[in-house]
Structure 1
Amino acid sequence: MAKYNLIVYSLIAIVIVLIIANVYLLNSNLSITSQKESLATKQEMSNLLTQVKTALDSELEQVDLDIQSACQQLSTVNFGSSQVRAILSALVDNNSFIKSASLEVDGILVAVEPEERSYIEGSDVTNQEQTIRLRQTLRPVMSNQIKLVENIYGVVMAAPIFNNDKTFVGAVTIVIEPNQLINQTITSIYNGADYTFMGIQVDGLVLYDVDQAQIGTETLSNPVFQGFPDLLATCQRMATEKAGYSTYEFKPSLASSDVISKELFWVTIEIYGTEWRLAIIHVLS
């Protein structure tokens, strides 16, 4: 009888060991599967971000070529001629996200296209940041998002015009809306729901987000963000690091009371010495 009990207990012990081993193997397999899925997600995020960055860089490079072409054309015409408006109109027509194009002389907008923006002709932009920088460097510049003379917010790109004697005589300026530019670039590449994108200036001002309420907010100083130290630390890193990866907690939207965990990769969009950070975001389960 004792021998029989010993055999039974031994079998029970073996079964328990096998169950524990199977549970361990199952958990290990689940962990490996989860790690593989996480790596696949990160790779997909990185690939998508690269595609959008490449497309945005291409859009801005084309705008640069168009502005330089306009400057070259204007360098040989009388600023009072009808050719000026034709050149500015072509600049607007060739780029769907350009809201207006202007000829600026001595800090004054002397011609503006399209016609519905012509009411700002005669406006003094001497103290706007892009005007100051352009006169200091005599090189193309792009402003941060600023309040324009039209009483709206936008980004101004400006390039100098030189006459045949290489004398600086004025500038071509264009107004773009980063929100529209970034959005149309993203939607031409990605229409899924797994990831979202954000565009942000290095000073923390949000240029683009799927949550429209966040556009124009200043992440580093807005009280809404102060209760989320990981988010603030991420934004501070984005201000100084051209590319990176981070995780943080924040609301799904400003109107939400929930808090979720997110991960993001970011890269830099740069033209004329001004930088934006472009990020792709994924909600962690």
Structure 2
Amino acid sequence: MRAVIGSSSLRFVLVLCLGAVPCFAAKQTELPAALTRISQEVQASLDRMDSDVQDAANLIALHGLNHDETRRILRALYEKHSYAVDTCTVDIRGTIVAVEPEQYRSVEGADISDQEQIKRLHKTRKAVLSKAFESREGIYAVDLEWPVFDREGEMVGSVSILLRPEALLKSIIAPHMKGFPMDVWVMQPDGTIIFDPDAQEVGLNVFTDPVYQPYYGLRRLAKKMGRSRTGSGVYDFSGTGLEKNVTKQTHWTTVGLHGTEWRVNLVQVISGDPDTAKREFSDLEIIQARDALRRLAKSSTLQRFLSAGQSVEVLRLLQGFYESHPDLYSVMWVTKDGITRYGYPKERSLYEYNHREGLNKDDAVLLGILEHAKEAWSTTTLAGGRDALVYLCPVGSGDSYRGMLYFVRIMPKHK
């Protein structure tokens, strides 16, 4: 759950589009009031979290990394921040010692010494914040670590809070955006998206992901944002399939914590149909869901639960996947023998359905895909008559092949 991609400094560039702004303005521009308010609230929230982790590190220094009181401190820190995934202590060797809440204690004893933020912490003996990374559960998160020192001033380990930046940012940004025709999306300077109103774009990279390649104006401005701490710009959002260009305007500024930078962008359409642009990006949802299902299918957590017959735990993973991709109709698990055991949500999923006994032609198609044990796309018609797209991804391979995860997504009606 702590497979970190890397670490840098946390700063957000908030892009707000109000009024006419010259494209790629070179000189300092005055920040819109809404942008200032949002950036101040984001910074204040980060500072509070940072102070709380520092306080926890100071208290834990009095008790040790694995004491009953230490667990109480970790639990209180976790409960104080609704966007936290977990909190833990890590010893000087980079081994996880104590974790709260209880549901994540299975990672106690794990060696994370090779993670970038742990190496940086040990080198600087100062607090660090990682870049965003994907946890084993498929959650994009960042890791804030504060060092713990003994009475002689020797560093003995650290206190960590793993948090979901998307949840933190949404709690601050959403109230400001209610009723306004603007969007906020957040990226790291390397182009990785940390927050977006469309959750399916989280984790994609504006600079490098193929789905953004047709949008030259967006990529050009995003690269400028990556280099500059504040600025403004206008770009044409044009791509294959768009009948007319959509022009967007942005402002951005930077906030930060321990040198890690994020760019939070608030964007407004100033000409063209905003719904057209949103429809053009609908492919991102499918690509993101496909990639996420691939990761879930490969996760050791899923395979462990399947091996142990822990259907409740598997369903929780499916629920988490579905809630991260609410545009889907359902997500299900089918064994290599051709039985869809269950899925989420329950009312949209098959349950203990044997496709070998089915009379539907789609059953034969699914069985053929299962036999080949390779990922595949297919189509089906739901009971209500709607056409749907199906993506199937194998779990395991060779002798360890177990079956497939698959999701269903209703196809849009074309006029």
Please report how far the alpha carbon of residue 148 of structure 1 lies from its aligned counterpart in structure 2 after TM superposition. Answer: 3.2
Partner of 2:270: 284
TM-score relative to the length of structure 1? 0.80
Count of residue correspondences: 246
Partner of 1:26: none
Give the Cα separation in 2 of the matches to 1:85 and 1:220.
41
SS at the partner of 2:63? coil
Q: What is the aligned counterpart of 1:143 among 105, 111, 130? A: 130
Whether 1:188 and 2:175 are equivalent positions in the alignment is yes
Q: Look up the equivalent residue of 2:19 and give its one-letter code.
A: S
Rg larger for: 1
CA deviation profile, 1:27-53 (whole Å, cap 9, x unmatched)? xxxxxxxxxx9369xx99821111111
Partner of 1:108: 95
Flag the 1:169–1:214 CA change in 2: closer, same or farther, 3 A: same
Whether 1:66 and 2:59 are equivalent positions in the alignment is no
Q: What is the aligned counterpart of 2:37 among 39, 45, 51? A: 51
Q: Look up the equivalent residue of 2:127 and give its one-letter code.
A: P
Q: Is residue 215–residue 238 contact of structure 2 (8 Å, CA) maintained in 1?
A: no
TM-score relative to the length of structure 2? 0.56
CA deviation profile, 1:45-102 (whole Å, cap 9, x unmatched)? 8211111110010000000110010000011113332011101001011111111100
Partner of 2:19: 38
Q: Is residue 177–residue 183 contact of structure 2 (8 Å, CA) maintained in 1?
A: no
Whether 1:166 and 2:149 are equivalent positions in the alignment is no
Shifted more, 255-264 versus 175-184: the winner is 255-264
Q: What is the aligned counterpart of 2:250 among 230, 242, 264? A: 264
SS at the partner of 2:111? coil
Give the Cα separation in 2 of the matches to 1:97 and 1:241.
28
Partner of 2:85: 99
Q: Percent identity?
A: 28
Give the Cα separation in 1 of the matches to 2:38 and 2:61.
35
Give the Cα separation in 2 of the matches to 1:258 and 1:75.
61
Q: Is residue 65–residue 90 contact of structure 2 (8 Å, CA) maintained in 1?
A: no
Please report how far the alpha carbon of residue 255 of structure 1 lies from its aligned counterpart in structure 2 after TM superposition. Answer: 11
SS at the partner of 1:189? helix
SS at the partner of 1:76? helix
Q: Look up the equivalent residue of 1:98 and give its one-letter code.
A: A
Please report how far the alpha carbon of residue 258 of structure 1 lies from its aligned counterpart in structure 2 after TM superposition. Answer: 6.7
Please report how far the alpha carbon of residue 149 of structure 1 lies from its aligned counterpart in structure 2 after TM superposition. Answer: 5.2
Give the Cα separation in 2 of the matches to 1:57 and 1:193.
22
Flag the 1:44–1:186 CA change in 2: closer, same or farther, 3 A: farther
Whether 1:244 and 2:231 are equivalent positions in the alignment is yes
Please report how far the alpha carbon of residue 261 of structure 1 lies from its aligned counterpart in structure 2 after TM superposition. Answer: 1.1
Give the Cα separation in 2 of the matches to 1:204 and 1:138.
28
Larger RCO: 1 or 2 (CA < 8 Å, sep 6+): 2
SS at the partner of 1:66? helix
Please report how far the alpha carbon of residue 236 of structure 1 lies from its aligned counterpart in structure 2 after TM superposition. Answer: 0.9
Flag the 1:151–1:179 CA change in 2: closer, same or farther, 3 A: closer
Q: What is the aligned counterpart of 1:199 among 163, 179, 186? A: 186
Q: Is residue 139–residue 164 contact of structure 2 (8 Å, CA) maintained in 1?
A: no
Flag the 1:193–1:162 CA change in 2: closer, same or farther, 3 A: same
Please report how far the alpha carbon of residue 229 of structure 1 lies from its aligned counterpart in structure 2 after TM superposition. Answer: 1.9
Q: Look up the equivalent residue of 1:115 and give its one-letter code.
A: E
Flag the 1:44–1:190 CA change in 2: closer, same or farther, 3 A: farther
Please report how far the alpha carbon of residue 249 of structure 1 lies from its aligned counterpart in structure 2 after TM superposition. Answer: 2.4
Q: Is residue 45–residue 280 contact of structure 1 (8 Å, CA) maintained in 2?
A: no
CA deviation profile, 1:168-200 (whole Å, cap 9, x unmatched)? 001001111111111111123331231110110
Q: Is residue 206–residue 215 contact of structure 1 (8 Å, CA) maintained in 2?
A: yes
Flag the 1:245–1:47 CA change in 2: closer, same or farther, 3 A: same
Q: What is the aligned counterpart of 2:104 among 96, 109, 117? A: 117
Flag the 1:183–1:145 CA change in 2: closer, same or farther, 3 A: same
SS at the partner of 2:157? strand
Partner of 1:6: none
Q: Look up the equivalent residue of 1:62 and give its one-letter code.
A: R
More helix by share: 1
Give the Cα separation in 2 of the matches to 1:149 and 1:216.
14
**Alignment gaps of 5+ in structure 2:** 1-17, 22-28, 272-415
Flag the 1:258–1:137 CA change in 2: closer, same or farther, 3 A: farther
Q: Look up the equivalent residue of 1:67 and give its one-letter code.
A: V
Please report how far the alpha carbon of residue 259 of structure 1 lies from its aligned counterpart in structure 2 after TM superposition. Answer: 4.4
